Amino acid sequence: MESLGFTTVNACYPMSAEETPPPGDGPESATVHAGEAVYAATSADDFIRFSRREKAALFAALFQVIPEFRGRLRIFTPRSSLLSLMRHYGGGTANGHYPCRGGIDFFFMDAARGHIFPCGYRGGEDLGLFSEFDPAGMAGAPFCDRCDWECFRDPSELFGPVMDVFTRPLSLAKRFFSDPAYRRTWIEDMRYALACDGCSAVIPPHPARLARFARPNASV
C-alpha cells in the first residue's frame, strides 16, 4: 500500500457468517448468521471461516506488525482493539473488551432499500427508512459482541474509555490500575490518533508527527 502512494490504511478483520455455529464456538446467540446479514461483504464459505484460536492468532499478528508501519502510514486500526480481541478469543481476561455501540451511536443503511439497521449483521432488527429515522431516539446500553466488524468494533473500543470518563469513572480508574498493558496501549492509540488528525481523508499526513511512533518491535 505504501509503494502505491497510500498514506492512510486500515486492517480488515476476519469476517464470516455461519449457517450453524461451529462446534465449541459458543452459543447460537453469539454467532453471526448468513441469513441475517444485510451487509453483502460476508460469506459462509469454509475458506474464510476461522476458529477462535485462529482468530486470536490473526489478531496477535496484526498487533505485532502494525507498530512497524505507524511511523510512515496513518493506520486507523487501534492496537487496544486488537489486544481486546486477542484476549476475547484467546481465553484471557475480558478486561477492556467493550461491547459494540452499533444501534446506539453507529448504524448501517441498506443502500438498496434505504432502511437502517443497528449493524450490517443484525438484519432482523429493521429500524425503518432512513428518511424517517431519528437516531436521537435510540437509547440503551451497548451489549453486542457477536462479530468483529472493524468499522464498528474499533471505534467502540477506542472511545469506550472516553465514554466511561463520563458514565463510570471509578470503574475506568480500576480498569486502568489493574491492567497496565491495556492502559499503555490505549493511551498510545489516542496519542497516535491525534497525531494522525483522526485519519482524516482531507488532511495530509504530518511525517514528523508520525515519526515519533516508529517502533521496530511491538510490546504492551
Model confidence over 175-196: pLDDT tens digits? 999 999 999 999 999 999 999 9
Please state, as a whole number, how many other Cβ atoms lie within 10 Å of the Cβ of residue 163: 15
DSSP H or E segment with residue 208: helix 207-211
Contact 104, 140 (CB under 8 A): yes
Please state, as a whole number, how many other Cβ atoms lie within 10 Å of the Cβ of residue 98: 20
- DSSP character string of 80-98: HHHHHHHHHHHT---TT-P
- Give the residue, 15 or 4, on which the prediction is more confident: 4
- Give the residue, 93 or 138, on which the prediction is more confident: 138
pLDDT at 54 over 60: yes
- Give the residue, 180 or 6, on which the prediction is more confident: 180
pLDDT band, residue 45 (cuts 50/70/90): confident
Confidence at residue 96, expressed as pLDDT on a 0 to 100 scale: 61
Distance CA 123, CA 96 (A): 27
Confidence at residue 24, expressed as pLDDT on a 0 to 100 scale: 47
